[in-house]
A and B are shown apart, each in its own frame.
Chain A
Amino acid sequence: AQKVTQAQTEISVVEKEDVTLDCVYETRDTTYYLFWYKQPPSGELVFLIRRNSFDEQNEISGRYSWNFQKSTSSFNFTITASQVVDSAVYFCALSEAIGDDKIIFGKGTRLHILP
């Protein structure tokens, strides 16, 4: 069965600090996708990244970076020099690459960036 675990329910950091959000996943598939979404207080879901299971290269996009480690089934997300606007709930998610495409979400990590 597929499962996504985000052990950190809530994190608070002071602005400009770096913060890492952890994500551990379980799947029996060899081909799958991993995602991160941001849900700001306004409630919509903002897509951040999709990663194919065959691509273990780390990715950097501005202040955001992702560390994909198949050996530990983890897909962690780091925000560098955090800003107040980064305050949101962040969801890690998993989907089979072949199949009915449903996305399995973690329970989310609520991130507070304090001014």
Chain B
Amino acid sequence: NAGVMQNPRHLVRRRGQEARLRCSPMKGHSHVYWYRQLPEEGLKFMVYLQKENIIDESGMPKERFSAEFPKEGPSILRIQQVVRGDSAAYFCASSPPRFLAGVYEQFFGPGTRLTVL
């Protein structure tokens, strides 16, 4: 059973370009979470999605950032017009539906390291 997959693992963009980060949850998991880790910081929650629904986006910057988790395919975190301050590691986590797990747990992917030049 493959773990959470993220790609690319490293992404370099110039200021003003778009960044697309992909997350494939573990098989059977319908919940996806995105976290951002700025240099020398802990992880900060960004957004929580279920298939085709955004459940909580309280941690998302108001502009330039968006996330989706379509019925088919991976979850995408999209950053438009990137700036240097977007340079960070972006982690995705997935979890199964609550009713299938007596205790929920989030499984983390390896992260995507975004560098904005």
Most chain B CB within a 10 A radius of its CB, from A43, A50, A107: A43
Taking residues whose C-beta sits less than 8 angstroms from the other chain, chain B's interface range is: 20 to 34
The count of chain A contact residues (Cβ–Cβ below 8 Å) is 19
A52 to chain B, nearest CB (A): 7
Q: Which residues of A contact B107 (CB under 8 A)?
A: 47
- In the bound assembly, the distance between CA atoms of A26 and B96 in angstroms comes to 27
User: Is B67 part of the binding interface, using a Cβ–Cβ cutoff of 8 Å?
Assistant: no
Residues 67 to 112 of chain B near chain A (Cβ within 8 Å) = 89, 91, 93, 95, 103-108, 110-111
B interface, by DSSP: helix, strand, loop or mixed? Answer: strand
Binds B, one of A58-66, A73-81, A97-105: A97-105
By the criterion CB–CB under 8 Å, are A100 and B55 in contact? yes
- In the bound assembly, the distance between CA atoms of A106 and B56 in angstroms comes to 20
Q: Which residue of B lies closest to A106 (CB)?
A: B42
By the criterion CB–CB under 8 Å, are A107 and B48 in contact? no
Given contacts A45-B91, A50-B105, A52-B103, contact A104 B45 (CB under 8 A): yes
- Chain B residues with CB under 8 Å of chain A are 31, 33, 35, 41-45, 48, 55-56, 59, 89, 91, 93, 95, 103-108, 110-111, 113
- Chain A residues with CB under 8 Å of chain B are 4, 37, 43-45, 47, 50, 52, 91, 93, 100-108
* 5 pairs of residues in contact across A and B, judged by CB atoms under 8 Å: A100-B55, A101-B33, A102-B33, A103-B45, A107-B42
